[in-house]
Structure 1
Amino acid sequence: MIVSNVNLSGCAEVNSAVCAGAGEGHLGGGSYRTTLTPTGNLVVAVCLGFIGTFGLLNNLLVLVLFCRYKMLRSPINLLLVNISISDLLVCVLGTPFSFAASTQGRWLIGEGGCVWYGFANSLFGIVSLISLAVLSYERYSTMMAPTEADSSNYRKISMGITLSWVYSLIWTVPPLFGWSHYGPEGPGTTCSVDWKARTANNISYIICLFVFCLIVPFLPPFLQFSFFLLW
């Protein structure tokens, strides 16, 4: 459960306004307030609206072109389609909620919605990262040993796509079961992993997420690229 960083039991001993603000920040009532000014919320809403609309149209176009033209159905383009699908899901299942929250100046869909938003955006984001890592490795392999596309190429790419989703689930499900948690972030109009809690439980998850979802996936492509430049 997402809890406020302020201990409400001490309300009798502190200023009532502070306690009211702490209670307002708790998502149990679904009314977590933003820390931005109305102008700040407007700017964020405009940016999110542009990003969401552009991302939706752009990724839909990629999928339409891939389905319509057979010449585009190559193994490498399957990876690009996977990235487009994950980005499209963010635009459909994530951005509208943060956009609506910014227009109203508060989170609108409660604690459960906050957890869903944090989980979904983390899942789709890591899928895109892993797909980019697989894409980097595939491009490096093609440059070093060019080959014609065949059925084995499709099988390898399909395995890479499956790996991206399974691997992402492995690292985004734990907060749902107590290893860290999903909650409000930044101005209070979006939700993600709790980046601020200084507990061993939370810090260990953040470190593992950074190492295994960023450093490890991109270390091999980085080393390969460095070797290619030196070679």
Structure 2
Amino acid sequence: IVAADIPFFKLSNDSFKRFVEHYTEEHIPDQTTLRKINLPRLYEEILIKIRKDLCEEKIWVSIDETTDSKGNILVISVVILRKRMRNPTNILLMNLAFADLSVSIFCIFQNLSLYLSSEWPLDDLMCKMYHFVQSLSYTTSILTLVMISIERYLVIVFPLHAKNMLHKRKLMYALIAIWLCSILCCSPRLWMFGTVTVPTGPEEEVVACIIKYHLYNPKIYHIVNFIALFLVPITVMTVIYSIVYCRLNDSEKSFKRLSRSGTSSTIRSKIEVDNESTQIPLSARKTDSRNKDPESNKRNCVRLAKSGELSIEKRRKLTILLIAIVVGFFICNFPLHCRKLIQDWYPNYDGTTDAAIIATIATNLLLFFNSGLNPLLYALLSQNFRENMAQILCFRRN
């Protein structure tokens, strides 16, 4: 099996020999001439067997292709077709779904072809696009997640100013800026990667999609990428969501205190300041501190306090969902960064060992799995998304 950044010709004879011997159960002589005769034939037999298993026994090797494309298309459909779902947070989540969807179009099947063929089966443009889109999706996702955390911070901490600051036009400008910035950051990959023809015998050659190390310094590139597009954003989001969660807890405690000791007008003012989207019942709006009936005022206090607590609980659930998305992103992408840093900075790193090959494949699969993970989180942790997804799937209007 040949991974994207471990091309066929880079595999050492010993590693490749053990691989072929394991899957064909045939002994391969140590002599170089005999290896050249036997290895290509046996390796081709392995590929034929894998293709046969895929076609006849219907073994599915793409772990998350289904949830990736269909799940993200469903998320996009929910936000576009359901008018009440078009709030700033959901629009940003839709942008995240677009970034994840691009992975299923340009990356998953191309990566699968690397595991089923001894050479790159597509042209030079697709080689460049494969690595460019993979990086573009990652960069767009991390910048969108940061933007979502900022949006939540503004709504929770500065509710009176949030509506003006998160106007639809400004939000569209932010989305355009995210994509332009991502394209700019990832554009070097269009010339860093390409196809090369490598001779494998007297009259044989393979086409490999490889990274051109002579065009850049991988150590500097990967460490800057890790700090600027992983460590800093994750730290910023951790700080922001910590502030947001503490603020929600403080607001909940305030409502509980006011429900015990405050007047209905005081609680109503607190709700209007603390939650710009809360709809207060008309009967409650007509009642204020001038109400002479203590019992009526107490009932209004309890009703308004419950309304405020319910709104805070909804926001808390949304915040938990967003934190889960960030945690999922961290778990799926951190191993890839670690592998690349070890690959660049560990002097004795050998990319041809079994452990290195398995680590490469596993980290790539984790990266792709993250693209299909978010729709599952929406369905599990958001009742609003879950209900609207069900309505879309069942072709229901209401």
- TM-score, normalised on structure 2? 0.41
Give the length in aligned residue pairs.
199
Q: CA deviation at 1:143?
A: 1.8
Structure 2 residue 230 is the aligned partner of structure 1 residue 217:
no
**CA offset at residue 109 of structure 1?**
1.3
Residue in 2 that maps onto 1:29 = none
Deviations 1:98-128 (A, max 9, x none): 2344344653214443222011111122111
Q: Residue in 2 aligned with 1:138?
A: 151
How far the C-alpha of 1:15 sits from its partner, in A, is 4.1
- Equivalent position amino acid for 1:138 in 2: E
Structure 1 contact 119–192 (Cα < 8 Å) conserved? no
Residue number among 224, 235, 238 corresponding to 1:208 in the alignment: 224
2:112 pairs with 1:96: no
Is the 8 Å Cα contact of residues 69 and 104 (structure 2) preserved in structure 1? Answer: yes
- Residue 192 of structure 1: how far off its partner (Å): 8.3
- Closer, same or farther in 2 for the Cα pair 1:69/1:193, shift >3 Å? farther
1:176 pairs, out of 181, 185, 190, with: 190
Q: 1:166 maps to which residue? A: 180
Shift of 1:155: 3.1
Identity %: 22
RMSD between aligned residues = 4.1
Q: 1:116: which partner in 2?
A: 129
Write the distance in 2 (CA, Å) between the matches of 1:80 and 1:211: 24
Of 100, 124, 130, which residue of structure 2 is paired with 1:87? 100
Structure 1 gaps, min length 5: 7-13, 25-32, 185-189
Partners of 2:139 and 2:229 within 8 A in 1: yes
Structure 1 contact 90–121 (Cα < 8 Å) conserved = yes
Identify the residue that residue 60 of structure 2 maps to in structure 1.
46
**Separation in 2 of the partners of 1:63 and 1:166?**
21
Q: Which residue of 2 aligns with 1:77?
A: 90
**1:148-201 CA distance string (max 9 Å, x none):** 645843233223212221221122112334xxx2379xxxxx97868xx69971
8 Å contact from structure 1 (residues 123, 172) kept in 2:
yes
Change in Cα spacing, 1:200 to 1:96, as seen in structure 2 (3 Å) is closer
Q: Distance in 1 between matches of 2:150 and 2:209?
A: 32
Evaluate the alpha carbon distance shift between residue 70 and residue 156 of structure 1 in structure 2; reply closer, same or farther with a 3 A threshold: same
Q: Which amino acid aligns with 2:81?
A: R
8 Å contact 1:55–1:91 — kept in the other structure?
A: yes
Maintained 8 Å contact 1:93/1:120: yes
The CA deviation at 1:83 is 0.6
* Structure 1 pair 91–200 and aligned structure 2 pair: CA distance change class (3 A): closer
Deviates more, 1:75-84 or 1:110-119: 110-119
**Structure-1 separation of matches of 2:35 and 2:220:** 31
1:125 and 2:138 matched: yes
User: Structure 2: how far apart are the matches of 1:230 and 1:201?
Assistant: 43
1:18-33 pair list within 5 angstroms: none
Structure 1 residues 142 and 230 mapped into 2: Cα distance closer, same or farther (>3 Å)? Answer: closer
Counterpart Cα distance in 2 of 1:230 and 1:199: 48
Bigger shift: residues 211-220 or 198-207:
198-207
